[in-house]
Structure 1
């Protein structure tokens, strides 16, 4: 059985591909048959969860897939687990690199995908055993660019399953039902969608030149948004195909050091709206989203990081002051949103800013 293992440093070009016997092999890298789905799995220090994730993928009812695992500089036993699984399943390709973060790992994986569709799965989550088959058949039968579906969360400690309004998207279910749609059919509600890429399978051609923003958290936002702007045919499959593990040490839950990234992320969403001629109509919505997200993330940031966060807020607000204050859409915002912006401009320090925006 072939073990597909690539080691890279800063180069996007594969350096070595070894067979089980240790000799150089090209088998598996240049398969003539195009897989139906490429599954990209970033891996970083997840030895306690990786087996459950991989088991859910290698045992899929859809066989014609490729599994691209990007070892992002793991220092635990995750690389050994990947090697173990690659010896059992030749569909697994391991790409090892220095740590570049979640976005960097996904972007590396995208350089090697050959599937008709691509699905991004985090290595501490798992999917239903018929998930990829359902994703492919629905997407193929309806000539979709994107298929969205539901995510069920589960607590890492208790194992309890639960759902959240964010992933349920009841408003979307009511709006589109089982029909094909595009972002234009959603109006301003497109900015309320769950943007997590683990809840979407994409046509590979649609996203071939889109990349996740490296060095930022909330990285799914601009990737998903640009893909949605491009997609002509989207569906919402009202079934739970993905299981999302909630961990107290995850980037999104314990990453308040990086919560200030939301400023850059929201700016990128605004720029994408401008790029795809969606800004003028929904400028007010985009301004509200930015200000609300900044306030929310700031108030949930640990005190030790608030000074730096506030400095970035103030710099950003000053940079956009003229643009925003001369915008008719901004002028129409409720006082609540304007007060956040004005507080960022006028507060002398983060404590004053916090006192102004934390009023109920």
Structure 2
């Protein structure tokens, strides 16, 4: 064995030991008495929220950032201003907005207008055209010709994760924020968010979203998402990312969607966290990683983001195989991210609860797959920790496949 081969073998053995330790750590957390008690104690708030149905924002959040005051069922489709003042490009803007674009011709103008109409902070808008075939490219070019802040990055169709990673690689702003091309920002509040993040020296500033129904969306899906992105309270006090994750999960308020926070670009770049290519549910491991490492995190209760719930979107058009793959690879990434890291008792149960929720999502979807589909997931990762996870995920009847 050559020296390089020996070094590689040692690195591989070390990586596998770390992965095995992560699996053991998670199992220890999930088997603890406090974890089981915590799981039982949080079922009641979840049930009450379900019974309560559509929530109403009764109070405006502090800090001058306006919140939605209407029940979700009566909130009309937001329409951002279509006119704004074009501004020159700056080399080091305050915020880089990354928008992956794939066949979004019906919604793209509203999306881009809502960003460019923001006043106060300097912006760059990085639009990653992910092989669109529907005329989205023409809209992007029209906006880029009108406003120098809009940059177009073109790639073959590679999926949302690759688009976000490509866009992030191009960022020059102090902060980065993601926006889906069929969604939009409903108000001119980015300046308040940047000011808050600056004043508190934050790694992440979380905020909320309201959902609006666009088209013939299945009733059960709409009822699930109508108020899903609106947290029950504000977590304004600065705390670590792990503590924020635990506090939000305890109140059933944890939402990993990557459009719901402003992140300090240098923090994300130094951490090296990127989206897993080729999967859905990629928000889970990405946001989890950022929160595990962030030192200063806060939340403001404002519905800045407007989330479009429509037929054919990622969340309404998923098949079981794609969803199972996304949850499975997300879960693997999350337990590997944990590694042998020790957590304080007041956070470990809720961190385990978040990871276990992704595990449950994978198990529920895998139960509906054919033997060949299950095998296709097995073949994705032949690491020992992945094989152990897959054995736990597969139904008893399917373990002979």
Taking structure 2 as the reference length, what is the TM-score of the superposition? 0.66
* Correspondence 1:122 to 2:172: no
Aligned to 1:226: 289
Range with bigger deviation, 190-199 or 287-296: 287-296
Aligned to 2:231: 169
For residues 87 and 62 of structure 1, what CA distance do their matches in structure 2 show? Answer: 22
Q: Which runs of 5+ in 2 are unaligned?
A: 1-87
Aligned residue-pair number: 299
Specify which of 354, 361, 365 is matched with residue 293 of structure 1: 361
* Correspondence 1:269 to 2:334: yes
In the TM superposition, residue 195 of structure 1 has moved relative to its aligned partner by 0.4
* Correspondence 1:98 to 2:98: no
Any idea what the Cα deviations from partners look like across 1:192-233, whole Å, max 9, x if unmatched?
A: 620001111100011113211111111111111111112111
Aligned to 2:144: 86
For residues 258 and 295 of structure 1, what CA distance do their matches in structure 2 show? Answer: 13
Aligned to 1:210: 273
For residues 309 and 279 of structure 1, what CA distance do their matches in structure 2 show? Answer: 39
Structure 1 runs of 4+ aligned residues shifted over 6 Å read 158-163, 313-318, 321-324, 340-343
Contact 2:242 2:293 in 1 (8 A): no
Contact 2:111 2:185 in 1 (8 A): yes
Aligned to 1:181: 239
Higher strand proportion (structure 1 or 2): 1
Specify which of 177, 197, 201 is matched with residue 262 of structure 2: 201
For residues 140 and 47 of structure 1, what CA distance do their matches in structure 2 show? Answer: 35
Q: 1:244 is paired with a residue of what secondary structure?
A: strand
Contact 2:100 2:164 in 1 (8 A): yes
Q: 1:103 is paired with a residue of what secondary structure?
A: helix
Aligned to 1:4: none
Q: Which runs of 5+ in 1 are unaligned?
A: 1-26, 325-339, 354-360
CA RMSD of superposed structures (Å): 3.4
Contact 1:42 1:122 in 2 (8 A): yes
Aligned to 2:298: 235
